[in-house]
């Protein structure tokens, strides 16, 4: 069996444990803004929300964020500096860190606010736009975490594992302000932004494990090809067959409702001639594949 995968090469200058480091000196690459929602600029060596986007249809959620497009993470430890640009009098000001991002209606976000009164919160929120009854729900264990978002820069850290552990820190990066356990979105991309306020971000360091390929196994069962691979909730997997690695025929398209091992049997295979199989993982702005023969 020959396995080929799409491998993402780390940027020069990163340590062995780092996946990303940004100080926004020259540009905002590789962060990509949400289309037509607010505007971003570089100012004094920081990435800044200049104007806030409008709330979109459906569930209420952060209006303005930038995303690590084309990248999917199994485990992540994100550290950065963040600062609200709203005046102290605006007690509802916030910053938001997005993770486990599948698409604009399915992800987690940590919301750090200057106020905790039942309307503005320090919370960990799960956004599930397909759930009509509860399209978003708080999942943190702590009932009313103390407020820490004040004027000036803050050190922020968010950890998320494929097993569902979530920890959010601000200023004290050893003792979490909020914790949660949830396995709805075990993998996904990462974003930074705000629910509805101007903010600035700098000195981003990301550690963790990135999903760069799909590990697919192929075997013959009664001369019928059977493929198996790990799948994750909410992501779209496409299975295709080729006879020459040029033209591909789609055999199956499945959105994983839950995480686990997926098996696919190619009952249409005639048993004559070469057969190559490709499993593609598709999502908003990312594409990962594995080819087996």
Per-residue pLDDT tens over the stretch 35-82:
888 999 999 999 999 999 999 988 999 999 999 987 889 899 999 999
Same domain, 221 and 275: yes
Asked if 278 contacts 248 with a C-beta cutoff of 8 angstroms, the reply is yes
Q: Would you state the pLDDT for residue 84?
A: 96
Same domain, 221 and 127: no
Q: What is the rounded (10 degree) CA torsion for 282, 283, 287, 291?
A: -20
Cβ partners under 8 Å of residue 219, min gap 6: 225, 226
What total number of domains does the chain contain? 2
Question: Can you give the residue range of the structural domain that contains 60?
Answer: 9-210
34: in domain:
yes
Per-residue pLDDT tens over the stretch 8-44:
222 334 455 799 999 999 999 999 998 888 999 999 9
Same domain, 188 and 57: yes
What is the 3-state secondary structure of 227-282?
Answer: EEEEECCCCEEEEEEECCCCCCEEEEEEECCCCEEEEEECCCCCCCCCCEEEEEEE
**What is the DSSP-derived secondary structure letter of residue 117?**
S
């Amino acid at each position: 069996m020959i396995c080929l995968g799409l491998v993402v090469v780390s940027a020069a200058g990163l340590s062995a444990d780092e996946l990303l480091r940004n100080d926004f000196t020259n540009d905002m690459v590789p962060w990509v803004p949400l289309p037509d929602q607010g505007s971003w600029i570089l100012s004094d060596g920081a990435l800044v929300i200049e104007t806030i986007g409008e709330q979109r249809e459906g569930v209420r959620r952060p209006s303005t964020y930038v995303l690590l497009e084309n990248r999917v993470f199994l485990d992540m430890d994100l550290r950065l500096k963040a600062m609200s640009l709203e005046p102290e009098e605006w007690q509802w000001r916030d910053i938001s860190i997005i993770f486990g991002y599948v698409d604009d209606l399915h992800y987690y976000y940590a919301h750090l606010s200057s106020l905790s009164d039942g309307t503005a919160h320090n919370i960990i929120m799960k956004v599930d736009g397909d759930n009509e009854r509860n399209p978003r729900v708080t999942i943190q264990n702590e009932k009313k975490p103390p407020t820490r978002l004040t004027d000036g820069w803050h050190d922020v850290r968010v950890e998320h594992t494929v097993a569902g552990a979530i920890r959010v820190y601000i200023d004290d990066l050893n003792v979490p302000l909020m914790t949660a356990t949830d396995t709805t979105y075990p993998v996904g991309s990462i974003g930074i932004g705000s629910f509805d306020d101007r903010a600035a971000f700098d000195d981003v360091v990301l550690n963790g494990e990135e999903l760069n390929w799909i590990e697919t196994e192929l075997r013959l069962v009664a001369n019928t090809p059977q493929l198996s691979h790990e799948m994750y909730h909410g992501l779209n997997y496409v299975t295709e067959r080729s006879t020459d690695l040029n033209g591909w025929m789609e055999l199956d398209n499945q959105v994983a409702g839950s995480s686990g091992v997926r098996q696919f049997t190619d009952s249409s295979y005639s048993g004559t001639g070469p057969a190559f199989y490709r499993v593609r993982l598709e999502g908003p702005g990312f594409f990962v594949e594995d080819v087996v023969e």
